[in-house]
Amino acid sequence: MLWQKLREGGALMVGVPDYERYLGHMQAMHPEHAPLGRDAFMRARMQARYGGKSTGKCPC
């Protein structure tokens, strides 16, 4: 459990998005929308981080 939390924290510090957390968010907050697949999610996160177009809205 502690190892998992440390890994998640480290990944967030270097900007690696957490797909499982995204899935949980989508299920809890946007159940009417189908979540992106893992590859599409990673592309969208990288585009949002490095593409320069930030809407300030929910990243899903």
pLDDT number for residue 55: 59
In a domain, 33, yes or no: yes
Range of the domain at 26: 18-50
Q: What is the pLDDT along the chain (60 residues), one digit of tens a residue?
A: 787 777 777 666 665 678 888 999 999 999 999 999 999 998 888 888 787 665 556 656
pLDDT number for residue 57: 64
pTM assigned to the model: 0.63
In a domain, 25, yes or no: yes
In a domain, 4, yes or no: no
Give me the number of domains the chain comprises. Answer: 1
In a domain, 36, yes or no: yes
In a domain, 60, yes or no: no
In a domain, 5, yes or no: no
Q: Give, as one character, the DSSP assignment of residue 36.
A: P
In a domain, 45, yes or no: yes
Token readout for 29 is: 């907050």
Token readout for 50 is: 């490095």
pLDDT number for residue 9: 73
In a domain, 30, yes or no: yes
